[in-house]
Amino acid sequence: MTLTHDYLGQLRSDWRWLSRTDRSRRAYQSLCERHPRLALDDLHDLGDVVDALDTHGGRSVLERAAIVQALLIEASDDLTRRALLQTLLPGVIGVCRQLRFGQGIVDDPREMVAVAVSLLVELLLDWSGQSRAYAAPDVLSALRCRLRRWLLKEKDARRHQGWADEGEPEYPSASPLQTRLETLRDGPHDRLARLTYQCVFAGISLQELARTDHSSVPTLKKELQVFALTHLLG
């Protein structure tokens, strides 16, 4: 999308320089030493690692998934985290596209992309050190949820502060279920509240949720049913 070209172009330009620095080569060597099974010895720096993660980079799907998993484990290092962000940029645009670049809520699609990248950085910091076999889809799924929450807050702010012009369509307020799920976030029921939100409002299938949650479909289905009966109904 042309509106996002300048911002994404700047990120790519910065990465072309960062990825070939001495710091990048040291971070790459550390990655190789800590994850010898990745067989990255034929590369030279993190720039080569990101290139290898391209669909045309010559690595299989499983090999690419293992590399992303290792990058997330080592994401406490700022340059390794930057490499992972660079790898996920196409997925970030995909998430923004799924959310229609905040159409009707965000005036400029570039703002949506900038917020998405900022939220992704926060997410990678929060998840650094974690070992996830499906790191890329897990991260992008979580990013989609964070972006949805941000859009809901932006929509609510517009409604209460009168930012929308009189001739613009009004947006419905959050449903009682959304409100209830939000009150259950960041507490003892955060996991099931998050999964319920993803299932109901993000349209993510139970099979995909079970995979990212590392649980079986029957077990997760039962958990969600009990959670709904106990905390959402009545």
d(CA 146, CA 162): 24
Residues whose CB is less than 8 angstroms from the CB of residue 26 and which lie 6 or more positions away in sequence, other chains included: none
d(CA 72, CA 40): 16
| 106 and 210 belong to one structural domain | no
Q: Has residue 189 been placed in a domain? A: yes
d(CA 164, CA 142): 29
| 84 and 187 belong to one structural domain | no
Q: Is the pLDDT of residue 4 over 50?
A: no
Domain end (from 164, 190, 214):
164
More confident residue, 13 or 68: 68
Among 157, 119, 140, 145, which residue's Cα sits nearest to residue 201? 145
CB 7 within 8 A of CB 114: yes
168-180 pLDDT per residue, tens: 444 444 567 777 7
| 13 and 113 belong to one structural domain | yes
Tell me how far CA of residue 67 lies from CA of 21, 41, 164, in angstroms.
20, 13, 45
More confident residue, 196 or 16: 16
pLDDT band at 131 (very low <50, low <70, confident <90, very high): very high
| 90 and 19 belong to one structural domain | yes
Residue with tokens 């649980």: 215
| 95 and 190 belong to one structural domain | no
Q: Three-class SS of residue 201?
A: coil
User: What's the one-letter identity of residue 217?
Assistant: V
75-116 pLDDT per residue, tens: 999 999 999 999 999 999 999 998 888 888 888 888 888 889
Burial class (CB in 10 A: 0-12, 13-18, 19+), 208: middle
| 55 and 129 belong to one structural domain | yes
Q: Has residue 169 been placed in a domain? A: no
Q: Has residue 211 been placed in a domain? A: yes
| 87 and 193 belong to one structural domain | no
Domain end (from 164, 191, 210):
164
pLDDT of residue 174: 53
d(CA 118, CA 122): 6
What count of Cα atoms within 13 Å lies in the side-chain half-sphere of residue 204?
22
- Is 0.75 surpassed by the pTM of this model? no
- Domain hosting 39: range is 2-164
Q: Say how many domains are in the chain.
A: 2
Q: Three-class SS of residue 44?
A: coil
CB 104 within 8 A of CB 169: yes
Q: Three-class SS of residue 204?
A: coil
Q: Has residue 153 been placed in a domain? A: yes
| 157 and 57 belong to one structural domain | yes
d(CA 17, CA 14): 5
Residues whose CB is less than 8 angstroms from the CB of residue 209 and which lie 6 or more positions away in sequence, other chains included: 195, 198, 199, 220
Q: Has residue 140 been placed in a domain? A: yes
| 46 and 151 belong to one structural domain | yes
35-61 pLDDT per residue, tens: 999 989 889 999 999 999 988 888 889
d(CA 139, CA 123): 7
| 227 and 116 belong to one structural domain | no
pLDDT of residue 193: 83
pLDDT band at 30 (very low <50, low <70, confident <90, very high): very high
